[in-house]
Amino acid sequence: LRDRAIEAWLPLARHLAHRYSGRGEPTDDLIQTATVGLIKAVDKFDPTRGVDFAGYAIPTIIGEIKRHFRDRTWSVRVPRRLQELRLAITEANATLTHTLGRSPTVADIATHLGVTEEDVLEGLEGARAYNATSLSTPISADGTTELGDTLGSEDHEYELAETRVALGPALATLDPREQKILTLRFYGNLTQSQIADQIGISQMHVSRLLTKALTKLRTQLVTDGI
């Protein structure tokens, strides 16, 4: 039964792996990693919690893929202090270039940031020493959002088209609107209210359709032996 479940949901694992392709890791490695995540999801899935398997497996597989990137894309994790300093230097460089009409010197940047020239040099050295696309690099001014947090963002309509293939026969039991609602809920992480606004129906209607779709999907999962 376990092997059948894994085989039945391999298209989902491959689909999620391809979402992260083109980021410096071989696609075959990503598929293997996604498969590991799928196996973990199958082994840990608890149907008594009232969550459909797809809704549980998707974040489990994505989490495994992101851990793969964090383990493989750099050998030394960038210290938080250097991450923030590199971001500040980049922003200061852009601001001062506009203000001064020339490329700023180390002294200019140090004065602007209120740090020493040694700090600026350390930040610049860190920028050369570490991969600029490190997933731990902060991309927000407050440093709370890292590049790795944004991986895998996709257009909802693209997800809708691909989900039918990725989830296989179980999703095919749902009508197009139910498929779209599940896609927006589990792939897009939208609230029922946001889904209602996007589709043009009431939140209560979304709630009923979501409940109906999940019930049908769970029934199909049981029928398929998952």
For the chain, domain boundaries:
1-77, 80-150, 154-226
Pick the CATH number of 80-150 from 1.10.1740.10, 3.40.190.10, 1.10.10.10, 1.10.10.60: 1.10.10.10
Architecture of the domain made up of 1-77: Up-down Bundle (1.20)
Q: What is the pLDDT along the chain (226 residues), one digit of tens a residue?
A: 688 878 888 888 887 888 777 767 788 989 999 999 999 998 888 877 766 677 778 888 888 888 887 766 544 455 667 778 877 887 888 788 888 887 777 788 889 999 987 788 777 655 544 444 444 555 455 555 554 544 444 444 444 444 444 455 566 678 888 888 877 776 566 788 888 998 899 999 988 898 888 778 767 655 654 4
- Tell me the C-alpha distance between 111 and 34, whole Å: 47
Q: What are phi and psi of 132, to 5 degrees?
A: -65, -20
Fold of 154-226: Arc Repressor Mutant, subunit A (1.10.10)
142-154 as b/e, with b when 16 or more CB fall inside 10 Å?
eeeebebeeeeee
Q: In 3-state terms, the chain is what percent helix, strand and coil (to 5)?
A: 70, 0, 30
Residue 187, C-beta contacts closer than 8 angstroms, at least 6 positions apart: 58, 154, 156, 159, 163
